[in-house]
Amino acid sequence: MAFPLFKKIVYNCKRATLLIVKKEEQQLTTIEKVQLSIHLHFCNPCKRFVKQSELIDHTLKHSEEILLDPPVYSLPEETRIKIQQELTKIN
Amino acid sequence: MSVSLQPSAWISLYGDYFYSMAMIKTGNKELAEDLVQDTFLSAYKAKESFKGNSSEKTWLTAILKNKIVDYYRKKDVLRNTDQYLSESEQSFDSSFFTTEGNHAGHWTTAAAPKDWHMENADNQLNKSEFNKILQYCIQKMPPKLVPVFLARFVEEEKAETICKELQLTSSNYWVIIHRAKVLMRSCLEKNWFDIK
| Cα gap B65→A68, rounded to integer Å | 14
Which secondary-structure segment (H or E) carries B66? helix B56-74
**B107 has which bridge partners?**
B97
Which residues touch B109 (CB under 8 Å, ≥6 apart)? Answer: none
The mean pLDDT values, 10 residues at a time, for chain A of 91 residues are 71 94 95 95 96 92 74 91 88 70
Residues of chain A with a CB closer than 8 angstroms to some CB in chain B: 11-14, 17-18, 21-22, 25-26, 43, 45-46, 48-49, 52-53, 55-57, 59-64, 66-68, 70-76, 79-80, 82-84, 86-87, 90-91
Nearest CA in chain A to B122: A59
AA letter at B160: E
Which residues touch A10 (CB under 8 Å, ≥6 apart)? Answer: A1, A38, A39, A42, A43
Nearest CA in chain B to A44: B113
| pLDDT, position B110 | 94
Coil, helix or strand at residue B107: strand
Q: How many CB pairs under 8 A join A and B?
A: 136
ipTM: 0.85
| pLDDT, position A69 | 74
Pick the closest to residue B76 from B179, B22, B146 (CA basis). B146
Residue pair A66/B131 in contact by the 8 Å Cβ criterion: yes
Residue pair B40/B82 in contact by the 8 Å Cβ criterion: no
Per-residue pLDDT of chain B (196 residues; tens, 9 = 90+): 456 888 889 999 999 999 999 998 888 899 999 999 999 999 999 988 888 888 999 999 999 999 999 998 887 677 889 999 999 999 999 999 998 887 789 999 999 999 987 776 666 557 778 888 888 899 899 988 999 999 999 888 999 999 998 889 999 999 999 999 999 999 999 998 876 5
| pLDDT, position B1 | 42
Give burial (CB, 10 Å; 0-12/13-18/19+) of A52. Answer: buried
| pLDDT, position A81 | 93
Residue pair B22/B36 in contact by the 8 Å Cβ criterion: yes
